[in-house]
Amino acid sequence: MGQAPAAPPTTPAAPAIRLSGITVAFEGREVLKGVDLEVRKGEFVAIIGPSGGGKSTLLRVVAGLQKAQAGTVEVLGRPAMVFQDYRLLPWRNVEQNIRLPIELTGRGRIETHLGMKPYLRLYPHQLSGGMKARVAIARALAQEAEVLLMDEPFAALDALVRERFNLELKRLHERTGKTILFVTHSIREAVYLADRVVVLTGGRIDAVLETRGEGRLTAFTDGVEALLRERLGVADSTFIEPPPPPLRPPWEVVGVLGLTGLFFLLWSLLSARIPLFMPSPFQVFRALLDNTPLLLQATLATLEAVFLGIFFALLLGLPLGYWMGRSRPLERLLSPFIVALQAVPTVIIAPLLIIWFGYGLVPKVITVALVSVFPVLVSTMVGVREVDRVYREVFQTMGATAWGVFAKLEVPGALPVVLGGLRLTVSLALIGAVVAEFVFGGAGLGYLANTERLNFRYANAFAAVLVTVGLGILLYALVAGLEGYVLRYRRR
């Protein structure tokens, strides 16, 4: 009888990660020196070594966040990454942070909330370190990536919570079969979790040890240690209950009322000394009541110029400020002209506006827009630059498009600074509208105050000024309220 033909040899599966001759240098100092590493699909590999040995740099090279000066990197698909500082977006709650990669790419699914369902509406500042770690891991799992990179995700946790998370991560790996590359400083953690442990020292791989099944969760297994563990129970981490909003201190209320009373007292004393040119508070309040329809009409006219001017200031300042924030050369090119335009007094260009556009609403709106565009532009530029680079890296690892970065990161990230600039914008817009009404005439509080002054009806003029002051306070309060609502995710 003839022998049966030998079965063809099986081809080993391609590794999920293959690094060949990876060299990375910063300012002439080599951090990684010819590193070669293969991680098989479904394997859990821990990297351990002293600080400054290149562990995190190696992980960033695999993630595509750091380019190597030499060598090749092959990764199965786009890896998901859990950063050491978690990098949760502060303006998104737990559920929104987990769903971020799905919103950016239209792919992925939320496999598990890792015990976070009661806390899905909380914001990052309300979470403890352990809960932030859960959110970061859940966000990485939502990407459905084959390779999961973890840069010391449990380093900031206390020992008991860290052991709990080690156990959960081990079960997660067994259940999902994902390929995990895990950086840690803990020898016990590395041996317990990993199939293999890579020792990285001085930018080189010193040893690769097989550790599957060799580790244990804790050394506290006997005697008093075991009793203490039983007493402590299972460690967990939930959330930090935010403190209630502080009450306004009594001295603030008393101070505001006292300063207001002092102002009216000085006003009354001054009006008693020069009654012809300084009406008393009572006379001004009487003028407010007697001229309510006229003042209301003037207020609406002023508000029309203010809102139209702010609209055009936003229309011009927001996109221009955004591109100046993204491009230093563009900022250097345009800044001299913008500063020069801002430095030109309104009274100088007013005659030109009259020649070009005549009297009426158009020159008023142009004046308001020119006065208020500068803070919009500058706050937008600064806000875009204030978006932390670490968040941009998060979006890079998720494969976000330029539109996704703009809509999900740059707009909400720059919003606190933009809204702060908007406070100044509304104040300047009101000033610009009143000054324009002095120059160009027509309806409005500025025009009313000027005409009443010229006709020696000082009580009416002061009433118009008082309404203008109240209008300024109201506009500022509206923007402050909008800012408080939009930025309600921030810690008080």
Residue 213: pLDDT over 90: no
Higher per-residue confidence, 111 vs 356: 356
pLDDT on residue 244: 56
Residue 317: pLDDT over 90: yes
- Give the 3-state DSSP-derived string for the chain, with helices as H, strands as E and coil as C: CCCCCCCCCCCCCCCCEEEEEEEEEECCEEEEEEEEEEECCCCEEEEECCCCCCHHHHHHHHHCCCCCCEEEEEECCCCEEECCCCCCCCCCCHHHHHHHHHHHHCCCCCCCCCCCHHHCCCCHHHECHHHHHHHHHHHHHCCCCCEEEEECCCCCCCHHHHHHHHHHHHHHHHHHCCEEEEEECCHHHHHHHCCEEEEEECCEEEEEEECCCCCCCCCCCCHHHHHHHHHHCCCCCCECCCCCCCCCCHHHHHHHHHHHHHHHHHHHHHHHHCCCCCCCHHHHHHHHHHCHHHHHHHHHHHHHHHHHHHHHHHHHHHHHHHHHHHCHHHHHHHHHHHHHHHHCCHHHHHHHHHHHHCCCHHHHHHHHHHHHHHHHHHHHHHHHHHCCHHHHHHHHHCCCCHHHHHHHHHHHHHHHHHHHHHHHHHHHHHHHHHHHHHHHCCCCHHHHHHHHHHCCCHHHHHHHHHHHHHHHHHHHHHHHHHHHHHCCCCCC
What percentage of residues in the chain have a pLDDT greater than 70?
87
Residue 431: pLDDT over 70: yes
pLDDT on residue 238: 46
How many angstroms separate the Cα of 298 from the Cα of each of 350, 416, 458?
A: 21, 33, 17
How many angstroms separate the Cα of 350 from the Cα of each of 129, 308, 341, 454, 468?
A: 58, 18, 13, 21, 22
Mean pLDDT score, 452-480: 87
Q: In what order do the strands lie in the sheet with 204-210?
A: 80-82, 147-151, 179-184, 44-48, 196-201, 204-210
Longest dimension (CA), the chain: 132
What would the two tokens of residue 484 be? 């408080």
What percentage of residues in the chain have a pLDDT greater than 90?
27
pLDDT on residue 227: 52
In the structure, what pLDDT confidence band is assigned to residue 1 with cuts at 50, 70 and 90?
A: very low
Please classify residue 374 by burial: count the beta carbons closer than 10 Å to its beta carbon, then call 0-12 exposed, 13-18 middle and 19+ buried.
buried
In the structure, what pLDDT confidence band is assigned to residue 379 with cuts at 50, 70 and 90?
A: very high
Superfamily of domain 279-486: MetI-like (1.10.3720.10)
Residue 310: pLDDT over 50: yes
Mean pLDDT score, 370-398: 90
Residue 119: pLDDT over 70: yes
As a whole number of angstroms, the distance between CA 270 and CA 281 comes to 10
- List, for residues 243-288, the tens digit of each pLDDT value: 555 666 676 677 777 888 787 778 777 777 776 677 877 877 888 8
- List, for residues 155-206, the tens digit of each pLDDT value: 878 777 788 888 888 888 888 889 999 998 888 888 888 898 888 888 888 8
How many angstroms separate the Cα of 193 from the Cα of each of 56, 183, 184, 386?
A: 18, 11, 11, 38
Domain ranges for the chain, please list them: 17-232, 243-277, 279-486
pLDDT on residue 232: 44
pLDDT on residue 407: 92
Superfamily of domain 17-232: P-loop containing nucleotide triphosphate hydrolases (3.40.50.300)
All residues at 6 or more sequence positions from 139 whose CB lies less than 8 Å from its CB, including other chains = 88, 97, 98, 100, 101
* Pairing label, strands 44-48, 179-184: parallel
pLDDT on residue 10: 46
pLDDT on residue 219: 45
pLDDT on residue 246: 60
- List, for residues 41-69, the tens digit of each pLDDT value: 999 999 988 888 888 899 999 999 989 88
- List, for residues 346-378, the tens digit of each pLDDT value: 767 777 777 777 777 888 888 889 889 999 999
Question: Rounded mean pLDDT of the chain?
Answer: 82
In the structure, what pLDDT confidence band is assigned to residue 235 with cuts at 50, 70 and 90?
A: very low
